[in-house]
Amino acid sequence: MVQEIINVDTVCGRCGKNGMVTDSITGERYCGKCGYVFSDTIQDSGPEWRAFPKDGSNSDPTRTGAPTSLAMHDRGLSTVINPINRDSSGKPLTSAMKNTVERLRTWDSRSKANASAERNLRQALGELSRLKDKLSLSNSVIEKAAYIYRKAIEKDLVKGRSISPLLAASLYAACRDAETPRTLKDVADAGNLRKKNIAKCYRILHQELDLKMPVVDPIQCVARIASKIGITEKTKRYAVKVLKVAQEHKESAGKDPMSLAAAALYLSCIKNFEDKTQCNIAEAANVTTITIRNRYKSLKLDQKIDCSSRNKKSNIAIT
């Protein structure tokens, strides 16, 4: 994970301490002291010029266009004929020349999407840019999703399948690869798709492309759930401690990370006498209350916690 301490507005508006951290991978800006997330999306503040070698030794800063990107169907390398019917000196074109330029524009547009794969890629990547805004994802995740979808086209996995579920599955795989906390339900809601269809396409991509997905750490989901319902920092820190002990005891193996984080937060709320119900946490985590109760029982036994009463001080012994 690449992180850097920025010098602008370094004072946290919540705890009043210095140490704002910008995470270029997940696209989040948060306080390094209290952990409060201020923004889910960061902007590239780098220069708009690029340095090219000149005379074989020195580098000359030159203003250029946008860099090449896999998130564009033509990778940003195509040219466009100006739609304004004027010549280089600004004079209007003659009627004969207008007809010629119009035919050139038509054939230029057709030549850029002369195959079904190109048309498929243009439609899919246009939808990918819309999903990026809805889910507040960074450019690195979008690039990875576009790369996975291009590999799916090369393997002919798009034939006979709808574009939207396969693209959503590629985006979910990219989020998991970048360890960005986005669930399958989040992607399904953003794309207005069925979760079952996306999961089916994701299994196909995982099998055919031989994807190696890292295991999602439930600790990364704690801050997201807690920010939605306003849980205090003390409760979040204890929930992280509970999850670390559960990982040491292999209790988190094979379980949904979001449900584990929700159960740990509920257990921590009981311990710290914070009034948050199972329904509040379940709605923020997009899981059911039954799932939270099941995970809560296993975590409570694993932590040796007596939570019989919320009015009495609990006896907690984390081993």
Q: What are phi and psi of 241, to 5 degrees?
A: -65, -40
pLDDT digits (tens, 9 = 90+) for 289-315: 898 888 888 887 666 544 444 444 433
Same fold, 3-39 and 116-208: no
- ∠ CA(131), CA(135), CA(137), 5° rounding? 90
**CATH fold of the domain at 3-39:** N-terminal domain of TfIIb (2.20.25)
DSSP type of residue 11:
B
Q: Please say whether the beta carbons of 30 and 37 come within 8 A.
A: yes
pLDDT digits (tens, 9 = 90+) for 39-88: 766 666 655 555 555 555 455 555 556 667 777 766 666 677 778 888 87
Nearest to 132 by CA among 66, 190, 213: 190
Tell me the C-alpha to C-alpha distance, in Å, between residue 318 and each of 152, 248, 267: 47, 12, 13
Q: Please say whether the beta carbons of 277 and 269 come within 8 A.
A: no
- Report the sign of the C-alpha dihedral through residues 22, 240, 254, 183, in that order: negative
Is CATH 1.10.3720.10 correct for 116-208? no
pLDDT (0 to 100) of residue 28: 78
Each domain of the chain, given as residue ranges in start order, spans 3-39, 116-208, 219-316
Q: What are phi and psi of 164, to 5 degrees?
A: -60, -50
Entry pTM: 0.60
Q: Which CATH number fits domain 219-316: 3.60.21.10, 1.20.1050.10, 3.40.50.300, 1.10.472.10?
A: 1.10.472.10
pLDDT digits (tens, 9 = 90+) for 125-169: 888 888 988 888 888 899 999 999 999 988 888 888 889 999 999
| d(C-alpha 13, C-alpha 31), whole Å | 9
